[in-house]
Structure 1
């Protein structure tokens, strides 16, 4: 299983009054890594994968250690833990060589912006996501008899 690595710079404006990265800023770090993963690394030139829209339906975040301002970036590792017919789940660690500061998860729903409603994960998206799927986790979306989609 591959993990996507994103080098995330710390900005002075990310700090709270105590000199730590503010808790809500970590969500921005996750967003930056997610965008880098899904749009920059999405399958191939001319691909429509993920371009129709994706919305966040859930975040979970565990703050493990305070992160103070410094000039070196942190790494955001991203991988896939679940692929279903109409959603997927990403997991993350925000860390450096010595410390994990945050563990988090995001549930994403592919969205059709033109029609204003959720859509299914495409085969092309599923193929791309499967490269980052955590071992032991099944894609689960099309393994039904009679061709029904798993949700």
Structure 2
């Protein structure tokens, strides 16, 4: 897969520069850093969806129910990563996010991951339904 092909699939991909400190003693990006990269892309994605407006007004927002990564190739400094997000399994109160991490230096997919996201009402401490605006955004970004 080329960078252009990746961006055709994920036009909203987040660009993340690998920092020297992201690497571990084995001189590749530490496995835990990918969850930070997923978070950066997820927050970008949620910002585009307008999800934080509901958090401010209703104290209802996203929480993670689980998180998973599969490492395909090691990444080293210097590199710039593109992290694409798509969704699936859209339900009444949650959905699955999928992450694809592309290395510009390697011109290759290096990591994939997923996380279950649930909308949560922090006032009542319970799951909350997805609103229609968010549902429309999620369906437009559904994994194919």
Would the TM-score normalized by the shorter structure come out above 0.5? yes
Q: Residue 95 of structure 2 aligns with which residue?
A: 88
For residues 43-82 of structure 1, the aligned pairs below 5 Å read 43=50, 47-48=53-54, 52-70=60-78, 72-82=79-89
Decide whether the 8 Å contact of 2:62 with 2:120 is kept in 1: yes
Gaps spanning 5+ residues in structure 2: where? 1-7
Aligned-pair distance for 1:34? 0.1
Matched, 1:123 2:129: no
User: Quick one: distance in 2 between partners of 1:109 and 1:48?
Assistant: 14
Please list every run of at least 4 consecutive aligned residues from structure 1 whose deviation after the TM superposition is greater than 3 angstroms.
none
Decide whether the 8 Å contact of 1:94 with 1:102 is kept in 2: yes
Aligned-pair distance for 1:43? 4.1
User: Quick one: distance in 2 between partners of 1:2 and 1:103?
Assistant: 14
Range that drifts further, 77-86 or 1-10: 1-10
Matched, 1:42 2:49: yes
The count of residues paired between Structure 1 and Structure 2 equals: 132
RMSD: 2.3
User: Quick one: distance in 1 between partners of 2:9 and 2:117?
Assistant: 19
Q: Residue 104 of structure 1 aligns with which residue?
A: 113
User: Quick one: distance in 2 between partners of 1:96 and 1:15?
Assistant: 15
* Greater Rg over alpha carbons, structure: 1
Aligned-pair distance for 1:103? 0.7
TM-score by length of 1: 0.79
Aligned-pair distance for 1:123? 1.2
- TM-superposition CA deviations, 1:60-114 (whole Å, max 9, x none): 21101100110x4210011112211111011111113521110111110001112
TM-score by length of 2: 0.82
